[in-house]
């Protein structure tokens, strides 16, 4: 197979591992920086140009599109889809999962357990909104944040009001969420490929930190998940339309609740804590599923 990995940086652990796994399995692989692509949008013969060459005859793409380049990155991916190239995660699914509010609405509609979540535009509604999610302590999130940036725990109603007003004055879109205290600063990352959780880890925030993100100094250990957690993770990825996903769950008193579904889940933490060849499993999935023209969206949406 000829595989394009859409990534800004070939030195990143995840990108390197995917290249390595593809080469090991005898594939042709190229790392393509989406920001350096330019495209010709025509219905007769769409094309993508990169470093003085036309990207042709690819069988599959693995998008690793960072949150900061979602807009242009998904446009490049859509172009691959228009050309009939199979993408392990399609552009529409990536866009969907990037917007926390949109993702929550889609998951809730399909009956996935979520923390109680509120959203409003006008500052006048702050009071009601806080009540809606059960009062303080509560969690406030910027809609398009990642790596724990833009996620704040407000311990009191006063703190919550101040933070909500501050974010609003910056015109940031935010959501407000019930704080799942019993999770104890930990979450469960389920790495889903196709219809299986292939690896799972528990991430624990460092002392005094409620956010478990590894980027915030959290640590990861392999964890055994329950059948309910497994089923929830697989279902959440499927609803979002992602073939590869990092589904983050919190262990709440009411069972697993989904916090987010990541479309470009990192490989470093999960491979190191579980000692599994997740990159190899991604390539294996492509070998079984990448068929020309097998894209649901053909660049729509």
Instruction: Rule CB under 6 A: say whether 160 interacts with ligand ADP.
Output: no
Question: Based on CB atoms, which residue is closest to ligand ADP, 209 or 284?
Answer: 209
- DSSP collapsed to 3 states, 98-132: HCHHHHHHHHHHCCCCCCCEECCCCHHHHHHHHHH
40: helix, strand or coil: strand
Beta strands 2-6 and 60-63, pairing class: parallel
> Of the candidates 188, 202, 182, 176, which has an alpha carbon nearest to the alpha carbon of residue 254?
182
Instruction: Rule CB under 6 A: say whether 183 interacts with ligand ADP.
Output: yes
Q: Strand 244-252's sheet: what is its strand order? A: 219-222, 196-204, 186-193, 244-252, 255-262
The residue from 250, 258, 261, 282 that contacts ligand ADP (CB under 6 A) is 250
Interface positions, 192-211, toward ligand ADP (CB under 6 A): 205, 210-211
Question: Based on CB atoms, which residue is closest to ligand ADP, 179 or 191?
Answer: 179
> From CA 225, how far away is CA 7, in angstroms rounded?
31
3 neighbors 29 (Cβ within 8 angstroms): yes
Smallest separation (angstroms) from ligand ADP to the CB of 255 = 14
Instruction: Rule CB under 6 A: say whether 271 interacts with ligand ADP.
Output: no
Smallest separation (angstroms) from ligand ADP to the CB of 290 = 29
Interface positions, 28-57, toward ligand ADP (CB under 6 A): none
Site string for ligand ADP, 100-119 (x = CB under 6 A): ---------------x----
263 neighbors 97 (Cβ within 8 angstroms): yes
For ligand ADP, the binding residues (CB under 6 A) are 115, 139, 141, 145-149, 151, 177-180, 183, 187, 205, 210-213, 248, 250, 259-260
């Amino acid at each position: 197979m000829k595989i394009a990995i859409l990534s800004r940086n070939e030195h990143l652990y995840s990108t390197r591992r995917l290249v390595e796994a593809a080469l090991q399995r005898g594939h042709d692989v190229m790392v393509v920086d989406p920001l350096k692509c330019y495209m010709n949008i025509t219905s007769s013969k769409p094309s993508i140009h990169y470093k003085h060459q036309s990207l042709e005859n690819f069988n599959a793409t693995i998008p690793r599109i960072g949150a900061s380049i979602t807009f242009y990155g998904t446009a490049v991916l859509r172009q691959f889809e228009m050309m009939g190239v199979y993408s392990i995660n399609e552009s529409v699914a990536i866009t969907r999962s990037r917007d926390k509010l949109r993702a929550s609405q889609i998951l809730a509609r399909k009956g996935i357990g979520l923390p109680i979540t509120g959203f409003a535009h006008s500052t006048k509604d702050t009071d009601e909104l806080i009540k809606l999610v059960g009062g303080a302590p509560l969690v406030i999130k910027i809609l398009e944040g990642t790596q724990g940036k833009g996620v704040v725990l407000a311990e009191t109603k006063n703190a919550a009001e101040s933070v909500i007003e501050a974010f609003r004055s910056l015109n940031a879109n935010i959501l407000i969420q019930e704080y799942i205290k019993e999770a104890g600063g930990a979450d469960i990352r389920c790495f889903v490929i196709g219809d299986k959780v292939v690896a799972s880890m528990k991430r624990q925030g460092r002392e005094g930190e409620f956010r478990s993100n590894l980027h915030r100094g959290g640590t990861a250990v392999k964890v055994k998940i329950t059948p309910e957690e497994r089923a929830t993770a697989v279902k959440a990825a499927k609803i979002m339309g992602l073939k590869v996903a990092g589904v983050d769950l919190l262990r709440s008193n009411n069972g697993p609740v989904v916090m987010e579904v990541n479309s470009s889940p990192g490989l470093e933490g999960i491979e190191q804590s579980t000692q599994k060849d997740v990159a190899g499993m991604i390539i294996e999935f492509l070998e079984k599923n990448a068929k020309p023209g097998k894209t649901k969206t053909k660049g729509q949406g």
